[in-house]
Amino acid sequence: MIISHRIHKFTLVCLTAIAFTTACTGGEGELEVRAWGEEFIEEGIPATELADGWAVSFDRFEVELRDVSAAGVALPDPAPLDLAQPSEGMGQLIGRASVATGDHDDARFTIAAVEIEGRASKDGVEKTFAWSFDTAVEYSNCETLTQVSRDAVAQLQITVHADHLFYDSLVSEEPDLRFDAIAQADTDADGIVTQAELASAGLGAYDPGNLEIDDLWGFVSAQAQTMGHVDGEGHCES
């Protein structure tokens, strides 16, 4: 009896210890995923950022996201998000999920399409644009670590870099932002720079690297495929 009692007591202690350990290190936490276009999309890109003095702003910057997943959990595809809407730095909500606690580096997502409307101005001249990019780009192996614990809501941010649209190089580590060439593509001078006009415009000083791109629409479209990031400046493979 004494031996049996001691065995039961020992088992109870062990089970309690295991349960306690599991409770401390395992379980689930909450993950919130948002998309943000930073101040550049919500407030505009100031003239000081562009080498040729244009200022750019966006009336609409609609991003269609698909296959967003992180921490081993796939989120439902959200409705298209307009990143030009003010969010006070929070970005637009994609979704929430209960995920395993711990450190996660498996964030991935697809930007299926982007539709933007905006305007650029310089010295009293204004050019508007409304462009659509429908080449889906998958982003994975992102440079970020999402730490999920039980007592806080973890955050993952898909960050969209709109300034890439105006880079003058696809390969430089320090490209300039420019709008002059895009403005000059408005050959009918109606103040609207269309996709067709960009497709008819040569590259000028723009540098496409080894890509066989020879018109501005092809160049801007290629830049649009580099806009996806995570948690600010975190790069992903695409």
Partner 1 sequence: MCHPTPRAVALMLGWSLLGLAACQPSEAPRVELAVVVDGSGLEPEVSDLGWGVELNEARVVVADLLFTTAGELHDERQPAGAQLISRLASLLEARAWAHPGHQQGGEVIGELPGTHVIDFASEDGRELGLATLITGDYTALNFGLGRGQPELDGIDANDPLIGHTAILRGTASKLVDGATTEVAFTIIIDSPPDREIIGAPFEASVTEASSFEIGLRMLLRDSLEGDRLFDGIDFAALDAADGEADGQLLLVDPDEGDPQQVAALSDAYYAIRREFQTHDVFDAITHLDP
Q: Which is nearer to partner 1, 26 or 46 (CB)?
A: 46
Interface contacts to partner 1, rule CB under 8 A: 161, 169-174, 202-205, 207-212, 229, 233, 235, 237
3-state class (DSSP) for residue 143: coil
Q: Which is nearer to partner 1, 96 or 122 (CB)?
A: 122
CB of residue 210 to partner 1, shortest distance in Å = 5
| Bridging pattern class, strands 146-148 and 228-230 | unpaired
CB of residue 126 to partner 1, shortest distance in Å = 24
Q: Which is nearer to partner 1, 96 or 235 (CB)?
A: 235
3-state class (DSSP) for residue 140: strand
CB contact set of 56 (below 8 Å; sequence gap of 6+): 44, 45, 50, 118, 119, 120, 166, 179
Q: Which is nearer to partner 1, 123 or 212 (CB)?
A: 212
Residue with tokens 């929070």: 90
CB of residue 178 to partner 1, shortest distance in Å = 12
CB contact set of 71 (below 8 Å; sequence gap of 6+): 31, 97, 99, 100, 104, 106, 146, 148, 154
Q: Which is nearer to partner 1, 97 or 137 (CB)?
A: 137
Query: What is the distance in angstroms between the CA of the first residue and the CA of the last residue of the chain?
Result: 67
CB of residue 181 to partner 1, shortest distance in Å = 11
CB of residue 235 to partner 1, shortest distance in Å = 7
Give the span between the Cα atoms of 159 and 231, in whole angstroms.
6
Residue (of 80, 114, 113) closest to 94 by Cα position = 80
CB of residue 173 to partner 1, shortest distance in Å = 4
Q: Which is nearer to partner 1, 18 or 136 (CB)?
A: 136
| Count of C-beta atoms within a 10 Å radius of residue 35 | 23
